[in-house]
Structure 1
């Protein structure tokens, strides 16, 4: 079995209005992983255009995600931060994977069914083939680990299937080219922390989303301290006091969500939060959550606003990161072409 250097890859779509769910479910984990892994973080703008986008808004959203990465603590000098469309090997490897993946595999992807809805015949081919591009994003760097939310876990399983099939289909050529018994690693998911899935502040059964009609359903990363406090205090709860043990959160989705948010922001566990606040009414718990949320999120909002005022600086970070990313991707893509039997320089 080949031994691959540990490398983390993940990406965020530039769809606008980044919120607490994006931070706790993804970006905060990206920051934490910097201390233990080599990391590549990508603004996945090619994925964004699988549905209609306003070109002017898209450019702003790409910069906004980059600003969020930096404001939250990702170091673009020690690690790699770039936008996907600047590295053409992503799309190039995606085509190869379109020829490796099977229609039956893609037909099982639940996220396509959800996003395409009943009008599936009118969905773009890009939306259907989204998972093969995601596999290419990861494997063009031969990444070994991917921090993902629960909703992306199925796509990562497909990435592993594609990597395995490529390794099996071209085993003789891989060995002949000097890469041992496999060229691509089988990337592992990294799902960690107490708030991997942050729910709406207005409905604990719905995921926090920018598309929710109510702005009070989410805390945006650009919200100021007063807005954060107002949204937390207005968050939906139930009439009972907080339980002292986690099992007491069962069938109490709003309480479970707020306790999970507190635990994730405080870098602790739900059990520890309940040990401190169990038996309290929600008004006192919300006051503590307001203080914690403002302390953690206000500096991010301030830093994001400052970065967005200097788009040239953000663009320079992306250009530099793309050059570093392409140096890796081009080497691996050249090897893939060699394995496939393409004639090349």
Structure 2
């Protein structure tokens, strides 16, 4: 969430200041960056207080840098589900890293966390794309990341295609990756609407048949890029020696594959697969877990909110005007039980979807007016608690929709304003300048890893 202290941060002077603060030549602790860059004055997204990780605090004096990497495909303007899910978690990680760095820097000196967030445009072309549209989507996604609160002075934000080492490491990993493991991955099967037991290694239909049929036809359309998608995803993570990766349930399999790729490389190259200090060159990453936040379609609450839905009324975009937000939510599908509000995801999916939105937006430390409380006075509100608040209402479902519309509109108001300013600043070219700085830092990070990889391989 954005704060009102950043109402006019996008003039040419502000962009210049942000670029200077983000530049590698001006590297400084994250706490100092937070003061020097006006871009950092952001309200955190509503679910930021719910992030949990698998890590433990490193004792003072023994600070081992934590490297966090995550990526998002450029598919245009994010919707509310993206915002309350991955994007809010990223901003929460940035805030947590800033707080940790402030404390650690005072006692040990070096920052303890490095964050890299990428618009993964190489992944986008596993399906055919219109070139002009993809260029627009890349810029829109970059603007969205900044609009929700990511700060280029505290996080490295870049386009995947700006760092050639991602693709270079993918090839190296491909030489040790298991075809059998890849064949068991679900990504390519879901894209081609194939059963989970389908295999790319034979012509059967996945049900013991002898080939032919729709499954065989679908597999004939399988492209190498889609099949090897997880190898590139592993390279994205490993090339920056990421120690931790935030993932949802649908990506856990891919993170396990990345760990397998790291182990396979380190094993294949034996002693040469280790640094001089004995540590592995490629780091098996750990998972950062947060509570599942699944925002469902407003027109079919049994499905996740998605930009691929042909019905625009099914989703709220972070750039939707307030009037559109209210219209979409007031028309959201609920049910005919208008006399009361209850949380029942199976029996009342539409009502439960709105209750979950409110629980995120009004709970977890969010107070009236859109600001956030400190961690000490924050709490988590459950959908059941929200539902009880409508007891005695004259028109409970109408009241639920009105309150949800108010909360969503308030949450996205500053995000939309900031996004439009970013896209409008010099026709978006200022965004390109910020991305170029992030890409330079990302290349330095990746090149350091590739130097070790090439030495181990024999290049």
When normalised by structure 1's length, the TM-score is 0.91
The answer to whether residue 355 in structure 2 is matched with residue 259 in structure 1 is: yes
SS in 1 for 2:70: strand
**Partner Cα distance (2:391, 2:190) in 1:** 38
SS in 2 for 1:100: coil
Gaps of 5+ in 1: none
Aligned length: 335
Larger radius of gyration: 2
**Partner Cα distance (1:338, 1:254) in 2:** 56
Counterpart residue number, 1:121: 220
Counterpart residue number, 1:76: 152
Counterpart residue number, 2:381: 269
How much has 1:277 moved relative to structure 2? 4.1
Distance 1:162 1:230, change over 3 A: same
Distance 1:178 1:250, change over 3 A: same
How much has 1:72 moved relative to structure 2? 0.4
Contact residue 51 and residue 124 of structure 1 kept, 8 A: no
The answer to whether residue 301 in structure 2 is matched with residue 204 in structure 1 is: yes
Counterpart residue number, 1:308: 423
CA deviations on 1:185-237 (whole Å, 9 max, x unpaired) are 22222231451x22211122211111111111110111100001111111111
Tell me the C-alpha RMSD between the 2 structures: 1.9
CA deviations on 1:53-104 (whole Å, 9 max, x unpaired) are 1111111101100100111000011211110101000000111111121111
**Partner Cα distance (2:291, 2:125) in 1:** 30
The answer to whether residue 272 in structure 2 is matched with residue 173 in structure 1 is: yes
The answer to whether residue 137 in structure 2 is matched with residue 61 in structure 1 is: yes
Gaps of 5+ in 2: 1-62, 98-113, 194-214, 365-379
Counterpart residue number, 1:338: 455
Counterpart residue number, 2:256: 157
Counterpart residue number, 2:91: 31
When normalised by structure 2's length, the TM-score is 0.69
The answer to whether residue 293 in structure 2 is matched with residue 217 in structure 1 is: no
Distance 1:183 1:286, change over 3 A: same
Structure having the larger proportion of residues in helix: 1
SS in 2 for 1:81: strand
Distance 1:273 1:144, change over 3 A: farther
Counterpart residue number, 1:226: 323
Contact residue 77 and residue 141 of structure 2 kept, 8 A: no
How much has 1:146 moved relative to structure 2? 1.4
**Partner Cα distance (1:273, 1:157) in 2:** 37
CA deviations on 1:259-282 (whole Å, 9 max, x unpaired) are 222222233332543453467622
How much has 1:41 moved relative to structure 2? 0.6
The answer to whether residue 206 in structure 2 is matched with residue 130 in structure 1 is: no
How much has 1:157 moved relative to structure 2? 1.6
